Amino acid sequence: MIYSTGDHDERQAFAKVLGSGHLDPDGSDRADALVPSAGGERAAVSLVDGHRFVTLDSLVPGKGYGHLGRTQLDWLRDVLRTPRPHPPCPRPAGRRDRLRTRRAAALFRQRPARPRSLTPALRSPCLPKIASGRAGERITVAR
């Protein structure tokens, strides 16, 4: 299971219960690397069956929008220096446009996503669930 902070989370509680948010089936933390952060951001990366999963922490306590600071963007740039077959893709926001992560453009300037390069898995109907990350939803990925 891979979890990431949401706009109503508290970082200390998240860290206490879920660690990095990247968990093995037995509940142990599986993250290969965490962002070095004085603010406690829960950004992490892990490899699962050859696939790299990267989560970023855009939480701004008490706010409905998100923010990615320079530390996370620099860390992400370093993580993405090792090529993998799955580029990041923007989250479909729909009517939540006003709550979008601020400075997201800086993220995609570092590693732009191009729809023509997305894998079939990312074009599948499960993408909205992966991108929206609603609590209680189970996501199954077929091989």
Is the pLDDT score of 29 beyond 80?
yes
Question: From CA 4, how far away is CA 76, in angstroms rounded?
Answer: 15
| DSSP classification of residue 95 | G
Contacts of residue 83, defined as CB under 8 A and 6 or more positions apart, other chains included, come to none
Question: From CA 99, how far away is CA 104, in angstroms rounded?
Answer: 12
Q: Residue 103 corresponds to which amino acid?
A: R
What local confidence, expressed as pLDDT, does residue 41 receive?
87
What local confidence, expressed as pLDDT, does residue 84 receive?
64
pLDDT tens column, 66-94: 888 899 999 999 988 887 665 555 555 55
Are 103 and 68 spatial neighbours (Cβ–Cβ below 8 Å)?
Answer: yes
pTM over 0.95: no
What local confidence, expressed as pLDDT, does residue 108 receive?
57
Are 7 and 63 spatial neighbours (Cβ–Cβ below 8 Å)?
Answer: yes
What local confidence, expressed as pLDDT, does residue 44 receive?
93
- Other CB atoms within 10 A of residue 140 CB: 6
pLDDT tens column, 34-67: 888 878 888 999 988 778 889 999 988 888 888 8
Locate 51 and state its tokens: 């696939």
Long-range contacts of 132-138 (CB under 8 A, 24+ apart): 132/91, 132/92, 133/4, 133/6
Task: Burial-class residue 7 by CB neighbours within 10 Å (0-12, 13-18, 19+).
Answer: middle
What local confidence, expressed as pLDDT, does residue 118 receive?
37
Question: From CA 142, how far away is CA 139, in angstroms rounded?
Answer: 10
pLDDT tens column, 116-140: 333 444 444 444 444 444 445 444 4
